[in-house]
Chains A and B, each alone.
Chain A
Amino acid sequence: MSRKPLVRECPPTTWYFRQPRYMRYMSREITSIFVGAYCVLLVVGLQRLADGPTAWEGFLLALQSPASIVFQILAFVAAVYHAATWFNATQKAMPLQIGEGFVPGNLISGAHYAAWAVLSLIVLILAGVF
């Protein structure tokens, strides 16, 4: 008996609509666009700073426009979501074995969240927020 297997292709552009978990994955990946765009914004800011006080003032003014504020809020939400997915992944990528048992995964992720909070606090203190 000859074989004639039927191949059903995975649709290259619409596959992520098949499953809610694929949509969650894509939403995680899409956050990188906002994170990347915000990095570009920071580089532009550095360039304006190097161009002198007038250019810098203009940049700060542009940051306060409604469109810019909307973008910054979106970028912040995306960055927080991206960071959370990363910290949640640490327990899978870095399991810690002690003797015959493993440290509970939420402790490993929790330690990363704690380090994140402490470092953020230090940055805010250095920036003179408090």
Chain B
Amino acid sequence: MKERTVQLEVLRYNPDTDTEAHFQRYEVVCQEEWVVLDALNKVKADIDPTLNYRWSCHMAVCGSCGMMINGEPKLSCHAFLRDYEGVIRVEPLAHFPIERDLVTAPDDFMEKLKRVKPYIIPKEKKPISEGEYKQTPAQLMKFRQYSMCINCMLCYAACPQYGLTPSFIGPAALTLAHRYNQDSRDGGRAERQEVVATHEGVWECTFVGACSEVCPAHVDPASALQQMKITSSLDWIVEHLMPGGKSARDTASREDAGDIS
């Protein structure tokens, strides 16, 4: 196997001793086919055991090892060394507070995820004796793409709107709201609209589109948010401009009821 010496420039921050973050350079002998995460593991094992970062699966499934690699949000297990030349700069995910070295605090994202109620809220609860909630393959395809999110938060690190306005609910959480809104078994759109159709919700999005470009699971959050802008606008039109228009909550309930047929 071919070896290559890689220069890593890693952002370090120790909350116990530092007031600012600083870069530290490591020279690591790597195998040509390694990814950035392998190089970090080599650093931790052989050069500097104090280096902190998160990782788990090493196969782009768990979403733990998101970092900025040369300024681009990436899963470090998915960033091949062969695609980089010169010094590779590794920083924690942008727009999140740095806990220590490459470890960020995801508290804000977790809080927002809860607010969009990312779970099925059944239209009508039925006893187990009545059997399962059935779904056709076509109904599944309506939301399947948006269910592939691995909560890696790369889209938040890519989104300048989230960086500038941290109250923005953000791409992944809103996309999950869309995923459940699109589910034929779900009746919770009206409840989610209270978070989705607000200035902190889809209307903070200006369609930069960076979220979709960096998504390692090809979820395309930008498309989910634009679709929710359309449905939210239709809600507004029905509520304010149509004679006898009902509130968004009523409209949503009516649409959901229509989906059953």
With beta carbons under 8 angstroms apart, the residue of B164, B206, B210, B226 that contacts A92 is B226
Asked if A10 is at the interface (CB within 8 A of a chain B CB), the reply is yes
Chain A interface residue count, CB cutoff 8 Å, equals 27
Q: Is the CB of B98 within 8 A of A12?
A: no
A10 and B105 in contact (CB under 8 A), knowing A3-B15, A25-B208, A93-B223?
Answer: no
Asked if B218 is at the interface (CB within 8 A of a chain A CB), the reply is no
Q: A9 CB to closest chain B CB, in angstroms?
A: 8
Q: Is the CB of B71 within 8 A of A97?
A: no
Distance, CA A99 to CA B95, complexed state (A): 40
With beta carbons under 8 angstroms apart, the residue of A4, A25, A93 that contacts B226 is A93
Distance, CA A65 to CA B83, complexed state (A): 52
Interface positions of A from 1 to 37, Cβ below 8 Å from B: 2-8, 10, 12, 15-16, 18-19, 21-22, 25, 29
Q: Is the CB of B230 within 8 A of A93?
A: yes
How many residue pairs, one in A and one in B, have C-beta atoms under 8 Å apart? 76
Q: A21 CB to closest chain B CB, in angstroms?
A: 5
Q: Is the CB of B213 within 8 A of A6?
A: no
Q: Is the CB of A93 within 8 A of B209?
A: no
With beta carbons under 8 angstroms apart, the residue of B71, B98, B160 that contacts A8 is B98
Asked if A73 is at the interface (CB within 8 A of a chain B CB), the reply is no
Asked if A101 is at the interface (CB within 8 A of a chain B CB), the reply is yes
A12 and B21 in contact (CB under 8 A), knowing A5-B15, A5-B105?
Answer: no
With beta carbons under 8 angstroms apart, the residue of B18, B98, B141 that contacts A100 is B141
Q: Is the CB of B138 within 8 A of A15?
A: no
A22 and B210 in contact (CB under 8 A), knowing A10-B95, A92-B223?
Answer: yes
Taking CB atoms, residues of chain B closer than 8 Å to A2 are 15
Asked if B13 is at the interface (CB within 8 A of a chain A CB), the reply is yes
Asked if B118 is at the interface (CB within 8 A of a chain A CB), the reply is no
Tell me the B residues contacting A by CB distance below 8 Å: 13, 15-16, 18, 20-21, 71-72, 94-95, 97-99, 105, 137-138, 141-142, 160, 163-164, 206-210, 212-213, 220, 222-223, 226-227, 229-230
Instruction: In the A-B complex, list the 7 residue pairs whose CB atoms are closest, starting with the nearest.
Output: A10-B163, A5-B97, A93-B226, A92-B223, A4-B15, A6-B98, A25-B208
